[in-house]
Amino acid sequence: MAGAVVEIEGLTKRYGDVVAVDDLTLAVPAGSVFGLLGPNGAGKTTIIGCALGLIRRDAGSVRLLGREIDGGAEEVVRGVGATMETPAFYPYLSGRDNLRYFQGIIGRDEPAEVDRLLELVGLTARAGSRFQTYSLGMKHRLGVAYALLGDPQLLLLDEPTNGLDPAGMAEVRQLIRRLGDGTRTVVLASHLLNEVEQVCDRVGILSRGRLIAHGGVAELIGRQDRLRLRTTDDSRAAALLGGLDFVGSVVADEAGLVVAAPGDHAAGISAALAAQGIHVAELRSLDTSLEEYFLQVTEGEAPPSPGEHGAGAAT
């Protein structure tokens, strides 16, 4: 795909009988912050590991920055900044020496860049302290600095805020957002829905190793039109609305009914009920968060339509 910096096609990875990633096809366009969203065990880390050549694929291909990683993974991966889960560094080295080492192994020896990155992530004051004395938040920030070594055009960040306190999370999220503002592409793997919603332009939702939905965040949320309805006779109203063409589903809950239907059909619903002598006490559009959408698609309440969602190609 033209303009895509990450192109994964038919990726499959099995651990014994467990399929961690199942025939995944995904493309991440350049210059965006792309969220790879899924619960723990959905396959996010495995996908990043496969992309970096750390985990062997059972099937499929991966292209990063327009180049196949097979047969020259080192060259390709050198231009990618990545962190995987909790950042792992040498505990007996200082933050600065850790960065100097990792800068060195990518063929650079520029102490000024190390100092600049330490400042960017707010670690200048503790740069000389051993990594083992860092708090979890500091470790994550050092991880981000590590990923930025060499100014890579593609960042793969796996759970970069895992274990951070709310202030630390906000700080790292702002940093990620800033990093994705220019031409750089950021892939953010996370199980935190609000994080992806806040930070990402586009999102791919994973469940049990399969990509079950993808698209722009706003687009995905907006697609889920639902209405909150309370009437003088909810059971009759549910039966009536279930027969209308533009109503997808009607679910009763303790607050009344949730009607899956586009918001611009609210008047039609009201008229149909009134015609049957059912009076509307409340009819309003339900705001859908990414979290609600995620729960729907992962629990099968609102399965994605085949053309837009599913395990097929995603951009």
Partner 1 sequence: MTGAKLLGWEWFKLRRRRIIWLLVAIMVGFSAFMVLLRFGEYQFKKDAEVKDEVVFVAGGPQPEDDISFGCAAFIAGDRPELPPEVTLGDIDVALTSRECELELAETEERLVFLTEEFTLPGAIPRALRWTSIVSIPLLAFLTVLVVGSEYTWGTLRTTLSRGTGRRRLLAVKLALVALCAAALWVAVTVVIALTSLLATALASGVGHGEWTGAAAGDIAGDVARAWYSTLPYVALAALLSVLFSAWSGGTLAAAGISIGYFFFDLFSMARLLQLFDGASGFGWVADVADVDLGWNTAAWLFGEGGEPIRGFNLVGAIGQATYPGGIWSFAVQLAYLAAFAGAAFWLFQRRDIAGPTG
Which position among 63, 100, 139, 226 is part of the footprint of partner 1 (CB under 8 A)? 100
Q: Is 23 in the site for partner 1 (CB under 8 A)?
A: no
Classify burial at 71, counting beta carbons within 10 Å of its beta carbon; exposed 0-12, middle 13-18, buried 19 or more. Answer: exposed
Which position among 16, 71, 107, 166 is part of the footprint of partner 1 (CB under 8 A)? 107
Shortest distance, CB of residue 171 to partner 1, whole angstroms? Answer: 22
Cβ 11 vs Cβ 23: under 8 Å: yes
Region of 97-105, 216-224, 259-267, 275-283 interacting with partner 1 (CB under 8 A): 97-105
Region of 34-42, 88-96, 164-172, 275-283 interacting with partner 1 (CB under 8 A): 88-96
Shortest distance, CB of residue 145 to partner 1, whole angstroms? Answer: 12
Which position among 10, 66, 91, 312 is part of the footprint of partner 1 (CB under 8 A)? 91
Evaluated on CA atoms 38, 41, 42, 47, the torsion sign reads positive
SS3 173: helix
Between residue 131 and residue 190, which ones bind partner 1 under the rule CB under 8 A?
Answer: 146, 149
Q: Rounded to whole angstroms, how far apart are CA atoms 190 and 181? A: 19
User: Binders of partner 1: how many residues, by CB under 8 A?
Assistant: 36
Which position among 3, 10, 66, 104 is part of the footprint of partner 1 (CB under 8 A)? 104
Shortest distance, CB of residue 242 to partner 1, whole angstroms? Answer: 49
Cα 181 to Cα 14, 15, 59, 147, 189, distances in angstroms? 35, 37, 33, 16, 18
Q: Which is nearer to partner 1, 29 or 53 (CB)?
A: 53
Residue in 37, 27, 43, 22 with CA at minimum distance from that of residue 313 = 27
**DSSP class of 228:** E
Region of 54-62, 181-189, 258-266, 275-283 interacting with partner 1 (CB under 8 A): 54-62
Region of 91-99, 182-190, 255-263, 276-284 interacting with partner 1 (CB under 8 A): 91-99
Secondary element (H or E) of residue 257 = strand 256-260
Shortest distance, CB of residue 79 to partner 1, whole angstroms? Answer: 8
Contact partners, residue 307, CB within 8 Å, separation at least 6: none
Shortest distance, CB of residue 265 to partner 1, whole angstroms? Answer: 50
Region of 87-95, 162-170, 200-208, 291-299 interacting with partner 1 (CB under 8 A): 87-95
Greatest Cα-to-Cα distance within the chain, rounded to the nearest angstrom:
79
Which position among 87, 160, 209, 304 is part of the footprint of partner 1 (CB under 8 A)? 87
Shortest distance, CB of residue 61 to partner 1, whole angstroms? Answer: 18
Q: Which is nearer to partner 1, 30 or 55 (CB)?
A: 55
- State both tokens at 124: 């200048």
Tokens 């469940």 sit on residue: 207
Q: Rounded to whole angstroms, how far apart are CA atoms 5 and 2? A: 9
**DSSP class of 175:** H
Contact partners, residue 59, CB within 8 Å, separation at least 6: 10, 11, 12, 23
Region of 47-55, 110-118, 236-244, 252-260 interacting with partner 1 (CB under 8 A): 47-55
Q: Is 75 in the site for partner 1 (CB under 8 A)?
A: yes
SS3 274: helix
Secondary element (H or E) of residue 33 = strand 33-37
Q: Is 88 in the site for partner 1 (CB under 8 A)?
A: yes
The residues that touch partner 1, with contacts defined as CB under 8 A, are 49, 52-56, 73-80, 82-93, 97, 100-102, 104-107, 146, 149
